[in-house]
Structure 1
Amino acid sequence: MQFTSVAARTLIRDFATGGCGRTLPAGQQNGNTANVTIQSDSLTRSYLVFVPPHYNPYIPTSVIFSYHGGSRTAQSQQQLDQLTNPEFNTASLVIYPQGVNNTWQGVPGITTNDVLFTADILADVESRYCIDPHRVFVTGKSDGGGFCNVLACDPNLSSRFAAFAPVSGAYYVDTLPCNATTVNLPCSPSRHDIPMLAFHGGNDTTISYNGGERKDECLPTIPHFIEEWAARDLLSPKNTTIPIANNTVLYRYDAGLETGLVGLVYDAVIGHDWPSTAPNADNQVAGHHLASFNATPIILGFFATHPLIVL
């Protein structure tokens, strides 16, 4: 039998979801990953859920959604992002949605309603686990990074997720001809304080840092993409350049006491990779190499300092 203090019960009542106090679903245990299937938009869909070692069903827990890249899977994203590595994360639930045909809404030609799928996962997770609704975050790689932006721009889910951290994101815009430095980036977020931290490599030959036409649509330059987020968040167009590691800087946008609400981590020499100092499926491809920094702890630090503020 488990007991909770009055303070803990108050925390659950005020800051948590309906799954608080419930035992883990059958077959799940702390420190392990399980596959979950749900119905969404008349389709059977699935996601992986990692329950952290320190999960307690009476303490509201942060959640990270991590979206795989095109032609990749939920399983490969778990191996890539290292968010289930106890060296980096022992406290957050991690959700790995599986895309239909291994890709996501927002990619040219894709008609699957993955925004609805995400909302359905969120409802399912909130019913099963003790979740802190102020600390639900999103990251992803490539097509999955682009889908992070789709969610951040959604008028409903932009108010449900606290912060976003796309890696090597593919931010397609359905317009041609493509002027990558000025293309209009449609976006309808529900608030003007969305934390956005993007990562991109200068040698990315898949989703170019300089943007351009791809799959008969337009990719913005990455500086244009991040400057537009600074503008949406009512920040100054000027940024502060902060060295991170060899060949790597953070372009940080601030406003008053709000430090680092929007930022871009730019590594001049890596390609279409999840930055890591350890070998992974990206940096072991011919022509790629280890990064001089790890993106994962930077993402986790960014999330930790940017909970959802509800006034």
Structure 2
Amino acid sequence: MFSSSLPRTVLCLAGILSVAAASPCSAKSSSGCGKALPAGQTLGGVTSINITSGGLERNFLVFVPPTYKTHTPTQLILSYHGGTKTALQQLQLDDLTSPEFNRDSFVVYPQGINDSWQGVPGVTIDDVQFTADLLDYVQGLYCIDRQRIMATGKSDGAGFCNVLACDAALSTRIAAFAPVSGAYYVDTLPCEPNTVAIPCSNARANIPLLAFHGGNDSVIAYLGGERKNACLPSVPHWIEAWAARENLGAANNTKPVAADTVIYQYSRPGEPNLVNLVYDSINGHDWPSTAPNADNENAGQAPTSFNATPMILDFFAKHPLTQLV
């Protein structure tokens, strides 16, 4: 699956690549439209790339979809690994490079410093800036649809998706978010999981969100609590805070997804199912999949009755960014 090319190193400085730059194709096109794939990269292949961000050398993997055409603006999905995990392990977990589920979208797997992400207590690395620099680089290299930049992740990586959704700049650049088994730390104690104030500086009031969490998650408890000298809000409180933030009200539509699984959907006129939580009462700290994966093969775990990956891809397909900045 990996290309034979050596990792490339580039220096990303503010202003070299502009997010607003567009090719003659359309306003939604990135500046990489029309450029040939770099030497050694292939359709359907994965390449490791290094850039400099915040004075640090950073790394990410890029999956080029097998259907990619250099003049066609193409969706890009960011997928963030869990704590103590790696970009490669996230690629092997999320199935977003599987031809069964995805043949049409770029997938970028950023690597956290010390396998961790901003938002986790004690982490001081500016991963928000890394994400912005990474997007600048990738949009300058490939034909990326600026209206279809999406983000997902697992555990600490899912928590970082929340950090991005709550960032004034990145919340206007990333169209939709799908965190899985997320750790949504709030830097405060004592911890009141059902009432803790959750800070957020999102610059959009219509951020599409599809979250997943298991009722038997023994790592990031569904009901929240103190962890790493910080407070994890209960997942119901966290999703209700997002619904309130987007003026969706407290009422939700509850629908079955599969055995032991429901989805809570918050909507408003003209924007159905904008904020959503998929709750599997028996799932643990897993990326939900009906097939064996690195999560559900652990002791005490098992495949779920549904697959998160096609649900995420379907959600992303329905929620492009409606206004470019």
Instruction: Identify whether the pair has TM-score above 0.5, normalized to the shorter chain.
Output: yes
Matches within 5 A, 1:114-125: 114-125=127-138
**Counterpart position of 1:45:** 58
**Counterpart position of 1:68:** 81
The AA in structure 1 aligned to 2:241 is: E
**Counterpart position of 2:263:** 250
Percent sequence identity is 60
Aligned residues: 303
Matches within 5 A, 1:98-247: 98-247=111-260
| TM-score, reference length from structure 2 | 0.92
The AA in structure 1 aligned to 2:168 is: P
The AA in structure 1 aligned to 2:264 is: Y
Which ranges of structure 1 fall in alignment gaps of 5 or more residues? 1-8
The AA in structure 2 aligned to 1:283 is: N
What is the distance in 1 between the residues matched to 2:281 and 2:257? 12
Report deviation, 1:135.
0.3
Query: Is the Cα contact below 8 Å between 2:23 and 2:30 reproduced in 1?
Result: no
What is the distance in 2 between the residues matched to 1:15 and 1:307? 11
What is the distance in 2 between the residues matched to 1:231 and 1:48? 35
- Secondary structure, counterpart of 1:90 in structure 2: coil
**Counterpart position of 1:261:** 274
**Counterpart position of 2:43:** 30
The AA in structure 2 aligned to 1:155 is: A
- Secondary structure, counterpart of 2:168 in structure 1: coil
| TM-score, reference length from structure 1 | 0.96
Report deviation, 1:242.
0.6
What is the distance in 2 between the residues matched to 1:221 and 1:237? 16
Cα separation, partners in 2 of 1:176 and 1:125, compared to 1, 3 Å: same
- Secondary structure, counterpart of 2:139 in structure 1: helix
The AA in structure 1 aligned to 2:204 is: R
- Secondary structure, counterpart of 2:62 in structure 1: strand
Cα separation, partners in 2 of 1:54 and 1:73, compared to 1, 3 Å: same
Which ranges of structure 2 fall in alignment gaps of 5 or more residues? 1-21
Query: Is the Cα contact below 8 Å between 2:82 and 2:158 reproduced in 1?
Result: yes
Report Cα offsets for 1:121-158 as digits up to 9, x if no partner.
Answer: 00000000001100000000000000000000000000
Report deviation, 1:11.
7.3
Query: Is the Cα contact below 8 Å between 2:78 and 2:151 reproduced in 1?
Result: yes
**Ranges of 4+ aligned residues in structure 1 off by more than 2 Å:** none
Report Cα offsets for 1:234-278 as digits up to 9, x if no partner.
Answer: 102100001000000000001012111000000000100000000
Report Cα offsets for 1:92-133 as digits up to 9, x if no partner.
Answer: 000000000001000000001000000000000000000110
The AA in structure 1 aligned to 2:144 is: I
What is the distance in 1 between the residues matched to 2:194 and 2:188? 13
**Counterpart position of 1:297:** 310
What is the distance in 2 between the residues matched to 1:154 and 1:213? 24
Query: Is the Cα contact below 8 Å between 2:154 and 2:180 reproduced in 1?
Result: yes
Report deviation, 1:233.
1.0
Report deviation, 1:25.
1.1
Query: Is the Cα contact below 8 Å between 2:29 and 2:143 reproduced in 1?
Result: yes
What is the distance in 2 between the residues matched to 1:265 and 1:151? 20
The AA in structure 1 aligned to 2:272 is: T
